[in-house]
Amino acid sequence: MDTTNIWHLLYLHRKKSIAICLLLALLSPEIRAQSSMKYRRIHLEDYDDKTIRYGFFFAAPATRFNIKYSDAYVSSDSAHQLYSPGKVGFRVGFVMSTILSEHFDVRVTPAVSLYSRSVDYNYPGGTSRREVRESTWLEFPVLLKYKSKRRMNSRMYLVGGGAFGIETNVRRREAAGASRLLTKNRDLTVEYGIGFEQFFEFFKFAPEIRFSHGLVNLFEPNQGNSANIGLQKLRTHTVTLYLTFE
């Protein structure tokens, strides 16, 4: 009687087993890749194909005066400390963008801003005084925007440019010697910032941080005004958080 060898049982299927193992080895990377990929929908795919785009924004500016002291601050002023604290305001406006190239846009963002800037005077003995300039401004920034390559539904961008501002509710005291800080009602600023765009199904949301430095000396001297002593120049400085919807 023939003896049975256990290795002969696998002989007929050896070639098939080897072929199946090789096939699985070749297909396993592709199977893993397909299983690991998750479908993500690209929103507003034709957004960059539009020549002009519109939107609106809300913003919270933190603003103050940059002070340059006069010679009288040392020789004539009785205040031992003179500074401008930062105060938070409010801004709302519109956005109009036009495309220049794949990575560059021009943006115009007219806005209405509510500011409350002040100058604090601290005197020896613990007494103090605050001169507040509460004002409403119409501002017209013109910015050049550089945007990175879009990655699915998000991208970064940089902006830079300038803005012209007009104060609309100017209040002055005409009485000679009135103790009130007077400032001019025109301003020109340099602006730059960075932002992040996130595309959703029906709109684009973009938080942005922007810095603004005033170029115009807003200080307006007034003879006999005690609030003017020690001051030579007042320039605006503002850091703003924007929430833009387009």
- pLDDT tens-digit map of 52-98: 999 999 999 999 999 888 776 666 656 667 889 999 999 999 999 99
Q: If you average pLDDT over residues 97-103, what whole number do you get? A: 91
∠ at Cα 226 (223, 227), nearest 5°?
Answer: 100
The pLDDT of residue 43: 86
Per-residue pLDDT for 19 more than 50? Answer: yes
Q: How far apart are CA 228 and CA 214, in angstroms?
A: 20
**C-alpha pair distances (Å), 104 with each of 51, 85, 131, 143, 147:** 12, 36, 43, 10, 6
- On whether the CB atoms of residues 213 and 151 are closer than 8 A, the answer is no
The pLDDT of residue 175: 42
What's the pLDDT band for 32 if we cut at 50, 70, 90? low
What's the pLDDT band for 145 if we cut at 50, 70, 90? very high
Helix (H) or strand (E) holding 19: helix 14-36
| pLDDT tens string 172-188 | 544 444 557 788 899 99
The more confidently predicted of residues 195 and 15 is 195
> For the chain, what's the residue count?
246
Sign of CA dihedral 78, 80, 82, 87: negative
The pLDDT of residue 16: 55
